[in-house]
Amino acid sequence: MRAAWRNQKHEPEQIERSARLGGLGLWRKYYADPAFKRMLDGKLRGSRSRGGTKSLWNLGEAGFKRRLETGHEYVRARFSDSLGHRLRSSAEVQVAELLIKSDIEFVYERRTEALGHAFYPDFSLNCSTKVIEVVGYAGDRYWNHTARKLRLLTEANSSLEVAAVTTYLRIVERKLRGIPRIAIFSPYQEAELVQWCRGTPGSTNARKQSGLMRGP
Domain encompassing residue 62: 2-70
- One domain, residues 40 and 130: no
How many structural domains does the chain have?
2
Per-residue pLDDT for 161 more than 60? yes
- One domain, residues 66 and 83: no
- One domain, residues 8 and 64: yes
Of 38, 70, 102, which residue is a domain's last? 70
Write phi, then psi, for 77 (nearest 5 degrees): -80, 95
Q: How far apart are CA 170 and CA 202, in angstroms?
A: 22
Alpha helices in 52-184 (DSSP H): 56-70, 90-101, 140-156, 169-176
Which CATH number fits the domain that encloses residue 139?
Answer: 3.40.960.10
- 148, 168, 166, 117: CA torsion to nearest 10: 10
- One domain, residues 60 and 94: no
Which pTM value belongs to this model? 0.61
- One domain, residues 6 and 96: no
Q: How many CA atoms lie within 13 A of 65 on its CB side?
A: 7
Taking each helix axis from N to C terminus, what angle separates 56-70 and 34-49, rounded to the nearest 10 degrees?
Answer: 90
Q: Any idea how long the chain is?
A: 216
- One domain, residues 179 and 106: yes
Per-residue pLDDT for 183 more than 90? yes
Read off the pLDDT of residues 100-157 as tens digits, 9 standing for 90 and up: 999 999 999 888 887 777 788 999 999 889 999 999 887 788 888 889 999 999 999 9
Per-residue pLDDT for 200 more than 70? no
Q: Mapped to the 3 state alphabet, what secondary structure does 104-128 carry?
A: CCEEECCCEEECCEEECCCEEECCC
Read off the pLDDT of residues 52-69 as tens digits, 9 standing for 90 and up: 444 444 555 555 555 544
- One domain, residues 177 and 106: yes
What confidence score (pLDDT) does residue 37 get?
A: 78
Residue/partner pairs of 164-172 with CB below 8 Å, 24 or more apart: 164/132, 164/133, 164/135, 165/91, 165/95, 165/132, 165/133, 165/134, 165/135, 165/193, 166/134, 166/135, 166/136, 167/137, 168/135, 168/136, 168/137, 169/214, 171/143, 172/135, 172/143
Indicate the DSSP class of residue 54: -
- One domain, residues 198 and 108: yes
- One domain, residues 17 and 90: no
Read off the pLDDT of residues 62-90 as tens digits, 9 standing for 90 and up: 555 555 444 444 456 788 899 998 888 89
Angle CA 135–207–168, to nearest 5: 25
Read off the pLDDT of residues 7-53 as tens digits, 9 standing for 90 and up: 556 566 666 666 666 666 777 777 778 887 778 777 766 655 444 44
Among 8, 2, 11, smallest CA distance to 61 is for 2
- One domain, residues 164 and 182: yes
Of 47, 70, 93, which residue is a domain's last? 70
Of 70, 91, 119, which residue is a domain's last? 70
- One domain, residues 125 and 57: no
Among 140, 110, 142, 132, smallest CA distance to 203 is for 132
Per-residue pLDDT for 173 more than 70? yes
- One domain, residues 64 and 103: no
